[in-house]
Amino acid sequence: MLFEEALNLASREEAFKATIYAMNTLLIDKGVYTREEFEALFIEWVGKERRRLQRTESATESIPCSA
């Protein structure tokens, strides 16, 4: 399959995921960072994002509804 064919077959979300996959694979294979470093940063980001969402949800729940 050619790149152009793959790009046409992929949805926008699939193309984004394929880009991230290709970039991370290259960076790991080239020794820019290790799989362990990637996984640690991934875990860090998910944790920060979950805490951010929880703060947002808590703030939304505590806002009084004016009826």
CA dist., res. 42 & res. 36, Å (int): 10
pLDDT in tens, 8-54: 999 999 999 999 999 999 999 999 999 999 999 999 999 999 999 99
CA dist., res. 31 & res. 3, Å (int): 25
**19 found inside a domain:** yes
pTM of the model: 0.66
Query: In terms of Cα–Cα distance, which of 50, 30, 28, 47 is closest to 38?
Result: 28
Mapped onto helix, strand or coil, the DSSP state of residue 62 is: coil
Contact by Cβ (8 Å): 18, 10: yes
* Amino acid identity for residue 7 in this structure: L
pLDDT, position 67? 58
pLDDT, position 51? 95
**32 found inside a domain:** yes
As for how many domains the chain has, the answer is 1
**67 found inside a domain:** no
**64 found inside a domain:** no
Q: Which domain holds residue 46?
A: 3-58
**34 found inside a domain:** yes
